[in-house]
Structure 1
């Protein structure tokens, strides 16, 4: 094969152009990769902190409160900031000692998940004034304590509207865990949402007990839910921690439906057992607090997170969109959501005076 030799000048030009192309590829390729990493917040480092997240008694694996904190709080923060988060599942241990143990290890912020940590954080935060403490679901006063609470009534309002739209019997129910104002915020918000869509809908509600054991009694919850279904209720909203499992099981076994809480559980069970979930973004709250700390922007005081702040909502995904949840229902709930965010609708907060403006159909269990 006859190949023509390149003259020296052509060869030099060719080599120079090739070298320039390689340099550009390296520079711009690196910038592109750097851009991608930046967009994903990978390896972002702003400071050094040693946070600890203390789960409530149920621990991880509850598909709800604790798992939300783990998935959307701990895991996300560790990934984005390459910072280890110490996790503690206390079980039946004394919570004051659990908090104090983390303080002795110089962890900060120390995040207690659930109102059960109120006394523990109130006590230990005074002993360690230079550390940051966070309580989620309760308010503790202190110069080094950040309290994060939610407008549960707003998220519950949306799933109450969904229940009324989806009910075929015009009868819906609510099963709460412990008989405390926090849980009644869910039930009252749910009732207000249901009545906003169907003023004549029948409501039946109850709670499971007066101690924290009410959040860990799925057998009792299943028995009560089954009776509700027998009496004509066809959708039950459960805000009962681990006891909610009993409600979901009752719905599955009787061919009825349920609404879950805290984290999306739409994927669980077969068919359309869980039609949606009221989202309480515990993970978002924990992540935000740790991010503030690592960026030097953490402050003590009380945060209140509702629909507007991204603290509560309802779950709509591939498991329920246009399946258990019809498109016209989505439009209606979006409309209601905007009304709340814009301030056109005020969802009453039961904890204000422990009353509800609508009849929730509450009975003693």
Structure 2
């Protein structure tokens, strides 16, 4: 039995498009699945855009357990997929081990840096986008208390929280921010029930705007906020449409563009580390018909002005991952 048959047998949902050419690109989703309405789904949308524009085909794999990472990478490389794109920092250690064994295969990893000659590492300035939505939370809050619900308690998610806190404090220096993480294992990305519980707890403490950076867990946060008649902030993909009029905005992380560009480059994919920041439209906030009534002209003007100052360097948003500290909040 081949590895792919084994993975399919364990409901890993490997989808191989018919007539796939030897050099078809491949996309591996992290835990939570491609329809998580957040990080993985953004990656899927980028792949689909490439497919629709080019008529090309690609392979895709949804992870079901940590144990599958190395096996899946090796099998995709051995069967000729090129480039192979993977979502999530958790692939970092495995890719560092696997990439040297396939020097003719190009790999791209999102949210981690792997220093191998055939790897493109894409990291985002989530703290900059989070600063902007933190400002919006402060301006929308009537209680002066806002919340943050993260997924797995790792430096990357603290980076979101820290930028959010700094933006909030820039508008409301005396305001209060409540920060909760869902857990310390990968299961924290896929626990909407726990997300609901944490959001309700924050509401009981006075929070009237809650930012979720927690993968599928965030679905519970957004639902609970809507049920409790407070505002939420989505993440990664534009989640404004999930609860129209209840989601203040979403901190967009252009994972879709990363996947699209990798697939478009094909075997000519440039390697090295790329930082997708606010200046390069790698992050930002979402404004559409679903949240237009929530975002006042005053709010938009202030946030857009801050964005320009971040781009120019006049405002420096602290990156938690540089020193594992957060001047604007405690964890």
Give the structure-1-normalised TM-score.
0.82
Whether 1:279 aligns to 2:249 is no
Q: Hey, what does 1:320 align to over in structure 2?
A: 291
Deviations 1:62-95 (A, max 9, x none): 1111111111x11111122222121111222511
- Structure 2: 5+ residue stretches without partners: 1-21
Q: Tell me the distance in 2 between the aligned counterparts of 1:305 and 1:129.
A: 26
Which of residues 290, 299, 321 is equivalent to 1:329?
299
Q: Contact (CA 8 Å) 1:125, 1:133: kept in 2 or not?
A: yes
Deviations 1:134-189 (A, max 9, x none): 11111111010111101110010010000001001011111111111000000000
Q: Contact (CA 8 Å) 2:96, 2:116: kept in 1 or not?
A: yes
Q: Hey, what does 1:356 align to over in structure 2?
A: 326
Q: Contact (CA 8 Å) 2:31, 2:186: kept in 1 or not?
A: no
Q: Tell me the distance in 1 between the aligned counterparts of 2:311 and 2:262.
A: 23
Q: Hey, what does 1:234 align to over in structure 2?
A: 208
Deviations 1:236-280 (A, max 9, x none): 10101111122112112111111010000101125x221110001
Q: Hey, what does 1:308 align to over in structure 2?
A: 279
Whether 1:187 aligns to 2:169 is no
Whether 1:59 aligns to 2:33 is yes
Measure how far apart 1:330 and its partner are: 0.8
Give the structure-2-normalised TM-score.
0.90
Q: Hey, what does 1:4 align to over in structure 2?
A: none
Deviations 1:197-232 (A, max 9, x none): 121111111211111111112222211210110111
Q: How does 1:291-302 map to 2 (within 5 A)?
A: 291-293=264-266, 296=268, 298-302=269-273
Q: Contact (CA 8 Å) 1:96, 1:119: kept in 2 or not?
A: no
Q: Tell me the distance in 2 between the aligned counterparts of 1:51 and 1:281.
A: 19
Aligned residue for 1:332, secondary structure, equals helix
Q: How does 1:107-186 map to 2 (within 5 A)?
A: 107-186=81-160
Q: Tell me the distance in 2 between the aligned counterparts of 1:55 and 1:338.
A: 33
Whether 1:288 aligns to 2:266 is no
RMSD: 1.4
Q: Hey, what does 2:57 align to over in structure 1?
A: 84
Q: Hey, what does 2:8 align to over in structure 1?
A: none
- Structure 1: 5+ residue stretches without partners: 1-47
Q: Tell me the distance in 2 between the aligned counterparts of 1:339 and 1:301.
A: 28
Whether 1:339 aligns to 2:309 is yes
Decide which structure has the larger Cα Rg and report it: 1
Aligned residue for 2:57, secondary structure, equals coil
Whether 1:265 aligns to 2:247 is no
Aligned residue for 2:216, secondary structure, equals helix
